[in-house]
Every structure is written in structure tokens, then in C-alpha cells.
Copies of this chain bind each other. A is one copy, B any other.
Amino acid sequence: MHNVKMLIAYDGSAYLGWQKTSMGPSIEETLQQVLEQILQEPIALQAASRTDAGVHARGQVVNFLTSKGNIQPNRLRISLNSLLPKDLVVLQVEFPDPSFHPTLDCIGKEYHYDICYGTAQLPQHRFYSWHYPHRLDLSAMREAAEKIKGERDFSSFCNFKKNAHYKHCKREIHTIEIIEIDSERICLKISGNNFLYKMVRNIVGTIAYVGSGKIPLKEIPAILSSQDRTQAGMTAPAHGLTLHRVFYEFSILS
């Protein structure tokens, strides 16, 4: 079997997330159906990240195995894009190391979260940015980000009950940058080795609460050490989040 790796981007608005479900359209099923139509064989996809309903991707990495030995990467990419809906695009197709696995080989991910905080949100941002109309103290948010960064137990930012889903909740956040795009819009760039369920959105919601004064900056250490989800801020909505990039040891598809 031949291993095929793809870099894909999508607007998650119309999907129930990456993973196939009987409840409605998923990225996985949409891509799988078009691949099966082209390759005329059953295809099983694996993705670096099972993004949630409504979450977007700029650089999701997926793979599949195929019996077809004559695939031409660029031709396959063009065929896929001509058949896929416009909200799901294949950016690159390549042959990785035969053993490549997008989830198991992944050494880190970078997410971007976009917030519009003016009194009104420009309509052009409404599908890709959270409208959180509060005066934000960006320097307090940056201090909160510094406190959250690092290697620690992130149970306080996980929407699964502790120990119900993961062996442990220790993860490492490498960077949380807060970029000012314009006077009323910021982007939080968060990278780490691995993320718990809704962890990015819970971190964003908590940092936003610090920015608007709903959570005092000085409470961040207690929130982290409580290992209690109810102590942290809200889960920021899905539509502000984009899986920006996935990191591997030897190659980065970007």
C-alpha cells in the first residue's frame, strides 16, 4: 500500500467537525467520499487533529493508504479540488515516509484564535472571529498568557472530566502570542505539543476574561493549580479558532 499525505484547509462553518458522524456533514466524510470517487477503492483517513464542529483549518495534515501506485500528487490535488465543495481545499499532496502517521508522528500544533472586540464586528469577520465587545487590557492578557505557558497539568482547561478520557492532563504550551491586527481585532497564536479537549478555546476564554476584568490576573495561578474546569473562563466559541499548522520531526507541510 502507498501512503499519501495531504495538507488541507477548510472553513468549518458548515461541518460538525473533522470526525465522521451520523448527525450531519463532517470534513472526514466529505473528503473520503471524493477520494473514493476518484480512486475507486475504500479509503480510510487519519488526521493530525480532530477539529470540533465549526472550527476552521489552514494547515490540517491527513493521510490515507491506497493500492494505486500511479498517483501523481499534483493531478490528484487538482481533481480533488474540482470535486470538493468550495469550503474544503487540498493545498498539497505528497508521498511521505511509508510509516508516516499524522497523529502519532505529530510533535506539536499551532492554533490561531481571532477576536474582534469593538462595539460592532465587521461582517467580513463574522464567520472567522469571536465578537467579544469589551474594552480589553492587552497587557494583562499577555501577563496571563505568560503564566499559562509552560509544561503543567491543564485539567482546568479541559472539558472532559479528569482521568475519564486521558491518562494524564500534563501538556506543554510553547507560545501564546497576542498580535494586534488592528485597533479592534487581535489574534492569539497558541502552540504546544498536544492539546486536551477544548483546551485552546478554554485558554482563550480565560485570557479574554482577564482582558475584560471578569477574572483578575492574580487568580490565574490558583485556576491552574485547582485542576478544576469550573474555575477557569468560558469556552470561546468554535468559529474564532483555526488549526494553523501541524509540526513533525523532519518536515513541515505549510
A residues within 8 Å of B by Cβ? Answer: 9-11, 56, 58, 77, 81, 86-91, 119-124, 126, 128, 242
Secondary structure of the A contact surface, majority rule: mixed
Look across to chain B and name the residue whose beta carbon is closest to the beta carbon of A59. Answer: B122
Chain B residues, Cβ within 8 Å of A122 = 9, 58, 89
Complex Cα gap A58–B125 (Å): 11
Chain B residues, Cβ within 8 Å of A121 = 89
> Could you jot down 28 A-B contacts, CB within 8 Å?
A9-B120, A9-B122, A9-B123, A9-B124, A10-B123, A11-B123, A11-B124, A11-B126, A56-B123, A56-B124, A58-B122, A58-B124, A77-B119, A77-B120, A81-B120, A86-B123, A86-B126, A87-B123, A87-B126, A88-B123, A89-B120, A89-B121, A89-B122, A89-B123, A90-B120, A91-B120, A124-B128, A124-B242
Chain B residues, Cβ within 8 Å of A88 = 123
Complex Cα gap A124–B242 (Å): 10
Q: In whole Å, how far is A153's beta carbon from the nearest beta carbon of chain B?
A: 34
Contacts A56-B123, A87-B123 known; list 10 others, CB within 8 Å.
Answer: A9-B120, A11-B124, A11-B126, A77-B119, A86-B123, A87-B126, A88-B123, A89-B120, A91-B120, A124-B128
Q: In whole Å, how far is A196's beta carbon from the nearest beta carbon of chain B?
A: 26
Complex Cα gap A86–B10 (Å): 22
Q: In whole Å, how far is A243's beta carbon from the nearest beta carbon of chain B?
A: 12
Chain B residues, Cβ within 8 Å of A90 = 120
Q: In whole Å, how far is A51's beta carbon from the nearest beta carbon of chain B?
A: 13
Look across to chain B and name the residue whose beta carbon is closest to the beta carbon of A128. Answer: B124
Complex Cα gap A89–B119 (Å): 11
Chain B residues, Cβ within 8 Å of A126 = 11, 86-87
Q: In whole Å, how far is A128's beta carbon from the nearest beta carbon of chain B?
A: 6
Complex Cα gap A213–B90 (Å): 27
Look across to chain B and name the residue whose beta carbon is closest to the beta carbon of A12. Answer: B123
Complex Cα gap A119–B121 (Å): 31
Complex Cα gap A210–B179 (Å): 35
Complex Cα gap A120–B87 (Å): 12
Look across to chain B and name the residue whose beta carbon is closest to the beta carbon of A118. Answer: B91
Chain B residues, Cβ within 8 Å of A56 = 123-124
